Each structure stands twice: as structure tokens, then as C-alpha cells.
Amino acid sequence: MLGAAVASLLLAAPATPADLRPATLWEAWPARRVVTTPAPCLRPAALAAAVRGLAGRHGDSLRVETAGRSVEGRPVPLLTLGRGPRRVMLWSQMHGDEPSATPALLDVVDTLLSGPPGAGAILDRLTLVVVPMLNPDGAERHSRRNAQGIDVNRDALVLATPEGRLLKALRERFAPEIGFNLHDQDRRTTVGDSGVLSSISLLAVSGDPEGTLTPGRARAKRVASLIARTVEPFVPGGVARYDEDWNPRAFGDNLTAWGTPVVLVESGGIPPGRPLTDLTRLNYVALLVALDALASDDAAGEDPALYDGLRRNADRLFVDVLLAGGRVVQPSAPEPYPADVGFDLLDDDAAAAGCPGGAAVGPSRVREVGDGRLLAAGRRVDAAGRLLLPALAVSVRESPRPWLDGFALDALARLGVGRVRWHVPPERRAAAIASAVAAAGPGRPTVQVVDAAARACALVARSRPSPSAATSLSATLDALTARGWRALPASSSLGGLARALACVDPGDPAPAPLVVPDARASLILLRPSAEGALEPERLEVEAVLVDGRPPAPSR
Ligand SMILES: [Zn+2]
């Protein structure tokens, strides 16, 4: 009996060469990277240089050509390798701002040609057709679309884009038996309602609206199952099924219909605290393991039910920050009411990866006000017992010695100011706008330049404020307005002050709420010194968020 059990185990698990085991590949990847530039920072010129480097290193075993040109004339490199009769095509960055798999394709090519055990067998049986960056014009400007403003992945039928025509021509030239369509999805996509970010989502793309299971699509499902179980240990719970079943304009669907079944691999979010480059690492491991299985036995041992049983992607269930369990006060609703506040910080990939000259940070965006129990969050802040007040709005008047620079904005932000109305005479308007633009930055109040005669806010700041002498809201307002706020009617209660603090026009019968979806996340967290206390003297300023961030500390 024992002998039979061992024999069936051996049959079920064909020997995998040690160097192509997932854990080995994962560990080896940092030393094997062809380019160490994080994917969001890799521009077409650097990619082309890396491809030339690969061609020089591997000589005749790697064929490199310019498969075509983008709208703006950038070359689209094509790499082919292997001697096998069965052809596999892999392409990345059809969407210019979805780069995670692009460096992984270079790493896969380099590893296979560097001859670890098992690589030779793959290259004997398969010919690989690799397009690392299909949309270089989009990549150059970090945009999804090409230079015509067209989404190449919605151009499979019209073929108005040179990039789309190129992809279709490659399919006709090589007739691959399977294709890998490599993308990035929204980084806040979750695996169903599990609260776990969907780091990799997969789709064995259908070639028709009915989802007919052809032999080719069955192969794609087996490969998707293999990728799912291969990457899961590196991102526990973080593998999902892509949520769109059929898109008549897209390439994956039409390539499948034209005879090349496609596996869509979407790289998504990575668990908090881990580097974005782990997405490239996951693609590297997944693709090498998949190619090995395709070469050895067409992934025959994989169960498509594993793929079919994956939970689906879900949108809108993850926020970067959730302030949970507090009560909100707004000018439109001055009585405190229970509401969670969830918001995103909108750091883009280039900023998150630290690309040189990377894009600006932010702006933040409120996503939910109300019951947030269904939301998972990158960071959850317990706001129980706290009041959440929209950040303050103040007027600043032009003075003989202008003081409203970046440092002054930081000082205002530390006192809870999120918006500044800057009153200047017409002849100073252009200079004031230029100065406000120069002073803008993450965690700083927004500045609106208005006419000197325009309605002033109830709160007026007359000079660069000194730090508050105490932590109460009243001391903070004293520092901001040189005690000017105390002359306001109803200055004794937060509810009475709510409109004044937000610079609402006293004649407005229906002021807009300020903490609403799509607004910037600029808030003050207040802690009452006693249950139900709403007097500014008895409210401690516990934290300030301006545009989703704590203001810069004073120096
Ligand atoms: Zn995409």
C-alpha cells in the first residue's frame, strides 16, 4: 500500500527543477533583476537600453527587433527566444500607467537564457514572443491611453492605434497557443469583502459572451489556477478572480476569439508596509512557473476548479484611512451626529515608488461619511468619543509686509486651518496667485485669492500665527485670530460657531456640508474634556489633518 501511495504521489507531482520552484525564484529575484528601477519609474528610453543590454549579454539565443512604432514614433521592442514549436506570447504595459509586469518580463527572459536547470527544457519546447512595453507613449507620460488619447485595450476591433495594430499583427505572425496580457488594476481593489487587497487578480478570458469553454480556454483556466496557488503564499488571501467577464472591444477577449486564449494578470495593491516592487516580483515568479508547467505537460495537473472558485474582485471597500466611531459637526448640521469618515490619500505610483521628478502627492479625497462598517482600511484611527470638525477657514488681508508664504501656511495648518481666503487689491492679484501657487504643498491649506472688498470670513488672521499657548480649541482660536473670534455671536459653543469657523455666508440658508465624498480630507479631531462638552474651552485639539495629512511640525 505504502509503495502505491508513494508512486501515485510521484505521478501527481512531476519533479520540478529546484531553480524553478516558487520559493527559490522569490528569494533569487532581488539579485536577478535586469533593471533595479522600480516599474513606475521605468521610461521607454531606459527600457530600450535594458533590452539592448540583454541582447548583448545573450547573443544569438535572444532575437531583438523593433516590432513597430508608437504614435509618437517610439520603438516597440519585441524579444523572441526559444526553439520550440509551441508559441507563447506575453505583453505588458498596453496601458502606459500599468507597468508592474514590464521589468518582470526582462527578468524572465534573462533568467531563462542564463540557463538554470529546467530552463533549457522550456526553451526546447516553447518559443516565447515578448513585448515588454506595448504603449511607450503612455508610459512616457504615466497615462493609461496612447498619444491619440485612445485606450488601446478598447481598440481591438477598430484598430485605430498603431499599438493595437501591432499586437494583432504579432498574433497573426506567430499564432501563439496562449497569451499573457499583463496589467495593473486599482490598488484599492479587494478580494471580495474580505478586506484583503487583491494583489493579483486573474481572468481566463472568454472568447464570446456565453463564456464557451474551448480547449484553449480550458488551458488558460489551468494556468490561472497554477498562478493563483503559486503566488498565494507570498500574498496570503490576496488572489482574486477579475470581475469583468466579457468586453467586446478588448484585446484579451478578441485574441481569445481569434484563436489565442488569453490569461489576464492584473497586479493590484500590496499589503501595507511592503514595497510596490513586490508586484514585479510576483509576476516574475508566476510567469516562470507558468511557462515551466506549459512546457512540461501543458499544465495538465492543474485543477480549473481552483480558478473558478476564486473570490471576485470588489471595488470601493477599501480606504487608505478610516476615522471610526466619532461624531461629526458641520456648518450644515451643527449638532454632533455619529459618522465614520473614510478617505484616500491618492499617492500615485510614481510618488509611492520615489521616482525622480515623481508626480505630486495627493490631493486627498473623502470616500465615505456615515456607517463605515463595510470598509477595510490601510490605517484605522479609533475616533470614539471624539468630534470631527471640518478644518477652519480664515481670511487674510494683504498687508504692507506680506507674510503669507509656505511657512505661514504650515503655521496656519497646525492651528487647524484648511482654507485661506486671501484678500488683495486688483493690481496685486496676479502676484498673489503666483505666490499662492508657489507656496502650495501637501498638508498645507488651499489658498483662494479674492478681491479686497470680497466678503471676509468670520475668522481673520492678521499675521503669521504663533503656536497656540494651550491645546484647547479656544486657545487655538486665540492664537489664530488674536482673540478676535471671541467677539463672534454664539462663540460659547461649537454648534453656534460651526458656520463661522467654516466661513459660511451668514445669509446662506442652506450651506453645503464640507465633509462629503470627493472633498479633501481636512479635519480637526476634538476631544471633549467631559461627556457632551461643546464649549471651545473644554474641547482639546487632539489632531489636525489638512488634505489628509498632519501639518509639518514647527521648526
Ligand atoms: Zn490595464
Residue pLDDT, tens place only, 192-250:
999 999 999 999 999 999 999 999 999 999 999 999 999 999 999 999 999 888 999 99
Amino acid at 491: S
Q: What angle do CA 355, 357, 362 make, to 5 degrees?
A: 80
How far away, in angstroms, is 131 Cα from ligand 1 center?
Answer: 15
Higher-confidence position of 361 and 427: 427
Q: Which of 228, 229, 188, 205 is nearest to 314 (CA)?
A: 188
How far away, in angstroms, is 384 Cα from ligand 1 center?
Answer: 40
31-90 per-position pLDDT tens digit: 999 999 999 999 999 999 999 999 999 999 999 999 999 999 999 999 999 999 999 999
Higher-confidence position of 500 and 13: 500
Q: What pLDDT shows up at residue 358?
A: 62
How far away, in angstroms, is 126 Cα from ligand 1 center?
Answer: 26
409-448 per-position pLDDT tens digit: 999 999 999 999 999 999 999 999 999 999 998 889 999 9
How far away, in angstroms, is 367 Cα from ligand 1 center?
Answer: 23
Whole-angstrom distance, CA of residue 223 vs CA of residue 239:
14
Q: What pLDDT shows up at residue 306?
A: 98
Higher-confidence position of 492 and 338: 338
515-525 per-position pLDDT tens digit: 999 999 999 99
How far away, in angstroms, is 96 Cα from ligand 1 center?
Answer: 8
Write the DSSP symbol of residue 549: B
How far away, in angstroms, is 420 Cα from ligand 1 center?
Answer: 39
Whole-angstrom distance, CA of residue 254 vs CA of residue 238:
28
Burial of residue 337 (CB within 10 Å: 0-12, 13-18, 19+) is: exposed
How far away, in angstroms, is 266 Cα from ligand 1 center?
Answer: 8
Higher-confidence position of 293 and 349: 293
Residue range 15-39: mean pLDDT, rounded: 90
How far away, in angstroms, is 184 Cα from ligand 1 center?
Answer: 6
Coil, helix or strand for 279?
helix
How far away, in angstroms, is 285 Cα from ligand 1 center?
Answer: 20
Angle between helices 215-231 and 278-297 (to 10 degrees): 130
> Is the CB of residue 437 less than 8 Å from the CB of residue 360?
no
How far away, in angstroms, is 183 Cα from ligand 1 center?
Answer: 5
Q: How many angstroms from the chain centroid is the CA of residue 144?
A: 13
Confidence band (pLDDT; 50, 70, 90) for 17? low
- Predicted model pTM: 0.90
Residue range 441-467: mean pLDDT, rounded: 94
138-173 per-position pLDDT tens digit: 999 999 999 999 999 999 999 999 999 999 999 999
123-134 per-position pLDDT tens digit: 999 999 999 999
pLDDT at 13 over 80: no
How far away, in angstroms, is 295 Cα from ligand 1 center?
Answer: 27
The set of cell numbers assigned to 213 is 469553454
